[in-house]
Each structure stands twice: as structure tokens, then as C-alpha cells.
A and B are shown apart, each in its own frame.
Chain A
Amino acid sequence: MSTDHDHIQELLAGHALRALSGEDAAEAARALDEHVPACEDCRRTLAAFDETAADLALATPPVAPPDLLLARLHRDMAPRRAARSWHPGRVMAVAASVVLVVGVTGLALTRGGGPGSAQLAAADLNAAIAAAEAPDAETRTVGETTEVTVPDGFYLYGEDVPAPPPGQVYRLWLWSDGEPYYVGEFLPDDGTVAVRVLVDGEFDDVVVTVEDATTEPAAPGAPAWQSPAPTAA
């Protein structure tokens, strides 16, 4: 095995344990994109390390989750509602809508003395629309959605928003001083997006990307939508 392979497979070991950061994480991502798919040896090593890492979970005794957890899952797995249409002139006739949010994590923006913190949560569509129709509302377009500023952050909402490809999710990032900060991820509910982002701090722009749901949001992928172009990182 060449030195390059040694180095790449060393990265794959750290990757399997989710223990890479900074340049190592970036280098591993490049190797996974460019080298590994074409290298049978590295593909085998990656699969073996992934499997071994998963086996490590067995070193911890299993613990029965609370019964309520499955009930909570069943509730959140409820069938999607029938599609609706929304017209700005008939806002009050629109039923409350809440976007289905996957993996809302309540992220911290505070990265090495970053600008603050932010959280993403499902929101009521009517509340977002009402905020947008206030006399002094500040709104701007973010791709398929509208951003409405409120005192503690902003709403992002839209209708007829296309679903991302299977296995992918929308991820919302805030841009501050040329740096991206991950906030959370979401999926449209019958084409409707209505999320509320609570922000404690300053930011410049909103960027929404489409990314693989199983990958770590280490760095933003290509923007799907964005408010006025973010400052380059």
C-alpha cells in the first residue's frame, strides 16, 4: 500500500469514528468524493471501518427506550395532510400550517467567539404571514421562501416549495462576517415551509442548501436559495 493510501485510510478511520475536524475533515471529504469511489481497496477499508465503528455500539448495554418514544414517533409519522393552496388575499382562511422539521437540533452559533446563537423551530404559517403583513414588516426573498424579520429573529415561509431529492434535506445557515453558521434542517410539508429562527446575535444573510440527510453539516453545500449573496468565506 502506498503512503497516500496509508494517509487516506488513516483519515477513513477518523471519519468512521466521526473524529475528524478542520483540514482533516475537509481532506477526508475530498478523498471520499474523488479517490475512494475509484479505489477498491479504500472502499473496502471504509466499509470495514464503518462496520467496526457500528459494532462499537455493542460495547454498551442496550437500554429500553421509554414507551412514549415509539408513540411520539408514530405521532410524527402521521400521514401528510391533503395539499392546500394559499393565496395572499385570503390569508385568514388558511388553516394553521406547521412544517415538518427533521433533526432540529437547536444549534449553537457560538463557534470560537462567534456572533451569537440561533435555533430553528417549526412555525405556524398564519403567524408568519401575519408578521409579513404588518405595516412596518421587513421582508426579503430567500429563494422559494419569504423571510420576515421579527424582534427575536425571523420567519421563513413559502408555498409550493419543491421537496429535496430522496435522502436529502434543506439545511439553513446564517452568514456572519463571511463565516457560515449551521442552524438546522427541515423538509417542506405538502410544499409548505414555515419555520421560525430565533437569533441572539448579528448575522448578514440566510442561505439554504440541499444536503444528504446522513452527513454532518460541517460546511454548507451549494446554496439552493439565499438572501442577498453572502460574503465569501
Chain B
Amino acid sequence: MQDVAVEDVALHRRLVGGDREAFDELYRRYSGIAYGLARRLTADASLAQDVVHDAYLALWRAPEAYDPDRGAFRTFLLALVHHRAVDVIRREERMRARTEKVANLEPSASEDVAEAVTDESFLVVRRQQVRVALGGLSPDQRQVLEMAYFGGKTQVQIADELQIPLGTVKTRTFAALRKLRAALEETE
């Protein structure tokens, strides 16, 4: 993982210099994750393509937005994709019907298997670690994480839907992220 992160930074440095091959390599590495995430959030292939397109184009046009001192490139890119996807679904009222489709963290039965791609080897391990770590959360903690991250809901909306105090949502979210982080750190 560490080597990959270093390679990513080197690719990013080339990207700042306008290197298209570096762009293509970063696209090859992460577009599958990015598109899978965007499809999960938007439940709409067209919107998901727009999200990934816009995120990568923003990266190409303003690569300086990523600061290697502030974290891994993958973290930056996936946050960019996630943020744009959340923005899209919050603006697309018609996407509200997708709620049921994002209700769990397991692969959806309706996932188009034919389009599934094989992970880069370094991501296979991390993906498994994330799944194990998620399994260590309480159902309540998983629920708020799912609704926020994959449902694009605000904490106020989550409190409203679950009929629980906003403070409880905040506390569960904080505890969930801390626990997840601790579990993942143990694997690093």
C-alpha cells in the first residue's frame, strides 16, 4: 500500500506538469472504485458517469488542489467523487427513490456483474480489511454510516428518519468512525 501511495504522488506530480499518461494511469487505477461508488450513491449510470467525469476533469484542470502533505491521493480523489455524488443526489429529488437500493453495505443483488472489474492487488487486501472492520461496528453505528456515506443524507435527515435525537446521530457517527479507524489502523 505504501509503495502504491508513493507511486500515486509521483503520478500526481507528473499530472501537475500536464502529463496525460499519468492522468490515464490514475484513471486506470481508480476509475472502477470511483464509478462503483458513484453508481452506488446515485443509483443512476448516467449521473454516475457525470460524477466521475467531473471529478477527473477537475483533477486534470486543477491538480494543485491535491496536497500530498495532507494525505493519500486515493483519499483525495475518492472524497472528490463522493462529495460530487452527494451534491448530485441532494439536488436530484427524483433520486430519492433510490433509498432502498443503498440500504446495506453488501454488494447489491442487482449489481451488474458483467461490469464488475477486478481490483488492483493492493486494493483487494484493503477492501477485505474494510469489510472486516465494518463488521465490527454495532448495527446502530453501521446504520448511521450507511445513511450518511452511501445515502448522502445529512445528520439532521438521519435523525428525522430514524426518529432519534440529532445528538444521538452525531455520537454514533463519531463512535463509528473512530472504531472503524482503529480497526483499520491495526491492519496497517
Contact = CB atoms under 8 A, between A and B. Distances in A.
Interface of A: 9-10, 13-14, 16-22, 24, 47-66, 69-70, 72-74, 76-77, 100, 102-103, 105-108, 166-169, 187, 212-214, 216-217
Contacts of B61: 100, 102, 187
Interface residues of B, number: 78
A25 B40 CA distance: 24
A3 to B, nearest CB: 13
8 contacts: A10-B174, A13-B173, A21-B155, A52-B180, A53-B79, A61-B116, A70-B31, A103-B57
A2 B77 CA distance: 33
Contacts of A108: 91, 93
Given A53-B177, A105-B91, A73 B33 contact: no
A102 B57 contact: yes
Given A19-B173, A60-B150, A105-B87, 4 more contacts: A19-B158, A63-B32, A102-B62, A105-B88
A70 B37 CA distance: 17
Contacts of A49: 177, 181
B153 interface: yes
Given A53-B79, A167-B65, A213 B58 contact: yes
B58 A59 contact: no
Given A14-B173, A53-B79, A58 B158 contact: no
Contact of A17 (B127, B131, B148, B178): B148
B49 A52 contact: no
Interface string B41-71: 0000000110011101110111011000011
A62 B116 contact: yes
Nearest to B28: A70
A214 B33 contact: no
Contacts of A213: 58, 62, 65
A47 B86 CA distance: 20
A59 B105 contact: yes
Contact of A214 (B57, B65, B93, B174): B65
A54 B170 CA distance: 19
Interface of B: 20, 23-24, 27, 31-37, 39-40, 48-49, 52-54, 56-58, 60-62, 64-65, 70-72, 74-75, 78-84, 86-88, 91, 93, 105, 107, 111-112, 115-117, 119, 123, 126-127, 130-131, 134, 145, 148-150, 152-158, 170-171, 173-174, 176-178, 180-181, 184
Nearest to B104: A59
A169 B59 CA distance: 12
Given A77-B57, A213-B65, A13 B177 contact: yes
B84 A103 contact: yes
B144 to A, nearest CB: 9
A185 to B, nearest CB: 9
Contacts of B82: 18, 53-54, 57
Nearest to A169: B62
Contacts of A22: 156
B35 A56 contact: no
A174 to B, nearest CB: 15
Among B20, B36, B107, find the residue whose CB has the most chain A CB atoms closer than 10 A. Answer: B36
B33 A57 contact: yes
